[in-house]
Amino acid sequence: MRLSKYFVPTLRDLPAEACAVSHKLMLKSGMIQQISSGIYAWLPLGLRVLQKIEDIIRREHDSIGALEMLAPTLQPADIWIESGRYDDYGKEMLRFDDRGGRELIYGPTAEEVFTYVFRSHVHSYKDLPKILYNIQWKFRDEVRPRFGVMRGREFLMKDAYSFDLTKDAAVRSYEMFFQAYIKAFTSMGLSVIPVRANTGPIGGDLSHEFQILAETGESEIYYDSALDEKLGCTSIEDYEGIYAMAGERHDGSSCPIEKERLIVSRGIEVGHIFYFGTKYSGPLNAYVTSKCGERVPVEMGSYGIGVSRLVGAIIEAFHDDKGIIWPESVAPFLAVIIPVNEECVKMGDEVYHSLLLSSRDILYDDRKKSAGIKFADADLMGMPYQIIIGPEKNARRCVEVKNRKTGESIEVKVEQLDQILFSSTSR
């Protein structure tokens, strides 16, 4: 993509309410624009990150046999009354009547809709287990939306729902999601801490939150320093016996960990999984016939990832005072090509066209701007690699490939650039 034709409206003057570093950097680098309080438009650069995160999530869900579908954003109030949750969400749930006087709500989550879809079609244990998910916009009318997309009102969520015959099977589904979540977050370059959590308005008696450590995090978490050695482990058993609690579940007086080993930290919740048994299948009448012919309510769990929130959370985890430092897997572009002056534009064009043959993930800063502005914008936008074309190297058909994260540069022959960038073994 040629930056001169792209739409990346970088900002200098930030609104006063932007206090989180990710919020500031997303506005500065032209990733998002506020349309109303807590409601954002995703500009092209931001949308690319969102779509890459979606793709990673899809891949991990497909790999555990979860099936993608898509629930509508609006839901009839009826099913919320049926489940008994109509009042639980209070003013956070946006409610309104349509022109026919029927009450609709903008889904803050979708346990009811998915249970409704399930109960309409599945009636026998033979069709279990079933795991359905979707990636869809949700709305929660927060009193104080803040931190940009990290606590917005309209937000993109991946929500999945598992339907099993027995509690044992449901717990296995839960454990499968636990693994898939760690894998997905790890693919995004993140270290996540799974902590035992309260179940809140979703309900149930088994629940983990997945937290990223960050000073700006809204959650307080308490954990055993032994946990550090487990980061990246995917199995729920790896974490067994290691204390890790969300703030509201931590009780200093009953905490089994010695003070010296207890770490108190702030985190950003990027995922939350629940096993809640028959809490919804009972009232919503999602029953199947068991092997012995009995009608039993299905055992359920639900599993959420804050997709749009993750964009902010990743920036909280990866930035410096110059800007964003994207992990490769979610970067809007893998590299940005920077000719430092007019003389180097010809080589810039050549490099751009040649790399385009291998990948569309290349940004080309072909603007008629000073090298200083281009370097500053490249650092701000945070692509993993900067391909710098200067006059001296240009003459030798070489470019400088600078790693945004380490700051290290190597000199590469133009003919070898493709191999250096796209073959991970040679990096």
Which residues contact a copy of itself by CB under 8 A? 5-7, 9, 30, 33, 35-37, 39-44, 46-47, 50, 65, 67-76, 91-92, 94, 96, 98-100, 102, 104, 106, 113, 116-117, 120-122, 130, 132, 137, 139, 141, 143, 153-154
Residue 389 burial (CB < 10 Å; 0-12/13-18/19+)?
Answer: buried
Cα-Cα-Cα-Cα dihedral sign, residues 159, 163, 169, 170: positive
Residue in this structure with the two tokens 């905490």, named with its chain if needed:
255
The distance of closest approach from Cβ of residue 51 to a copy of itself in the complex, given in angstroms and rounded to an integer, is: 9
* DSSP secondary structure code for residue 13 in this structure: S
Q: Which is nearer to a copy of itself, 141 or 366 (CB)?
A: 141
State the Cα–Cα distance between residues 148 and 17, nearest whole angstrom: 9
Q: Give 148-203 as a DSSP string.
A: GGGB-SEEEEEEEEEEESSHHHHHHHHHHHHHHHHHHHHHTT---EEEE---GGG-
Taking the complex as a whole, how short is the minimal distance between the CB of residue 71 and a copy of itself, in angstroms? 5
Name, in order, each residue with C-beta under 8 angstroms of 232's C-beta and a sequence gap of 6 or more: 182, 186, 191
If the CB atoms of residues 1 and 344 are measured against a copy of itself, the closer one turns out to be 1
Nearer Cβ to a copy of itself, position 44 or 282?
44
Minimum distance, C-beta of residue 188 to a copy of itself, in the bound complex (Å):
19
CB 145 → a copy of itself: shortest distance, Å? Answer: 10
19 is written with which tokens? 């206090």
Residue number, 10 or 419, with CB nearest to a copy of itself: 10
Please state, in angstroms and as integers, the Cα–Cα distance from residue 64 to each residue in 181, 194, 306, following that order: 11, 19, 19
Minimum separation from the CB atom of position 76 to a copy of itself (A): 4
Shortest CA distance to 15 belongs to which of 145, 138, 140, 142? 145
Shortest Cβ 383–a copy of itself spacing (Å): 17
**Between 40 and 222, CB nearer to a copy of itself:** 40
Identity of the residue, 258 or 357, whose beta carbon is nearer to a copy of itself in the bound complex: 357
Residues 6+ apart with CB under 8 A from 254: none
Looking at the Cβ atoms of 195 and 315, the one nearer to a copy of itself is: 315
CB 189, min distance to a copy of itself, A: 23
